[in-house]
Amino acid sequence: MAVREVIRMGHPLLLARAEEVENFATPELASLVADMKDTMAALNGAGLAAPQIAVSQRVVIFGVAENPRYPDADSVPETILINPEITVLGSERESAWEGCLSVPHMRGLVPRYTSIRYRGYDVEGNVIEREAHGFHARVVQHEVDHLDGVLYPSRIEDMRNFGFENELFQTTEGAEEEL
Ligand code: NI
């Protein structure tokens, strides 16, 4: 397996709608997911969508282990999610800083729904269905946006809240991990 190059904002594949996965439990799908995991781990990301490694398929991975440095931060289960669909639960949104491996060194303040239900499949084709709140819900919305050709800067409501991480923050504390 391999760490793959992450394409960056400006590449047309990041603006395309990715294709549904039609065949599960294939060597090709296992290989894609393994490369995505290697790439996300190498870059210390909290999430990655297949289009970010120039594969236009509806596959995302995400996960954040509990970090003793941030005991109040939500953990997010390590998940491979294929052909995901999101249902918003309620209209409440909250804004938080996001980063993206395809928009390196930048952060933006992005509103997201606080509670969602999501449904999709694992690599074997088993259904995954969960409710998610807070940061977990944010990560899933960010990754599913990638499958629809949407990057977080287009979700920022006030562009004054967009900039280079080291200009916005004195330390990286408080900034979320890259997705
Ligand atoms: Ni991203």
Residue 143 a catalytic site member: yes
Domain span including residue 89: 12-168
Distance 113 CA to ligand 1 centre (A): 17
- Given the residues 22, 85, 129, 143, select the one marked as catalytic: 143
Distance 114 CA to ligand 1 centre (A): 18
Give tens-digit pLDDT for 116-131: 999 999 999 999 999 9
| Largest interatomic CA distance in the chain | 47
Tell me, yes or no, whether 24 lies in a domain.
Answer: yes
pLDDT surpasses 60 at 172? no
Distance 46 CA to ligand 1 centre (A): 9
Tell me, yes or no, whether 33 lies in a domain.
Answer: yes
Distance 82 CA to ligand 1 centre (A): 16
Task: Quote the CA–CA distance of 78 and 131 in Å, as a whole number.
Answer: 15
Tell me, yes or no, whether 178 lies in a domain.
Answer: no
Give tens-digit pLDDT for 27-80: 999 999 999 999 999 999 999 999 999 999 999 999 998 766 666 667 899 999
Tell me, yes or no, whether 38 lies in a domain.
Answer: yes
Tell me, yes or no, whether 105 lies in a domain.
Answer: yes
Instruction: Output the pLDDT for position 75.
Output: 83
Task: Count Cβ atoms below 10 Å from residue 124 Cβ, excluding itself.
Answer: 11
Tell me, yes or no, whether 147 lies in a domain.
Answer: yes
Three-class DSSP labels, 17-42: CCECCCCCCCHHHHHHHHHHHHHHHH
Mean pLDDT of the chain, nearest integer: 94
Instruction: Output the pLDDT for position 73.
Output: 67
Ligand 1 (ion): which residues have CB within 5 A? Answer: 100, 179
CB-based contacts of 97, cutoff 8 Å, min separation 6: 107, 108, 109, 110, 168, 174, 175, 176
Give tens-digit pLDDT for 141-160: 999 999 999 999 999 999 99
Number of domains in the chain: 1
Mean pLDDT over 100-108 rounds to 97
Tell me, yes or no, whether 99 lies in a domain.
Answer: yes
Higher pLDDT, 94 or 71: 94
Three-class DSSP labels, 128-141: EEEEEEHHHHHHHH
pLDDT surpasses 70 at 113? yes
Tell me, yes or no, whether 173 lies in a domain.
Answer: no
CATH code of residue 87? 3.90.45.10
Distance 27 CA to ligand 1 centre (A): 25
Distance 145 CA to ligand 1 centre (A): 8
Contact 25, 12 (CB under 8 A): no
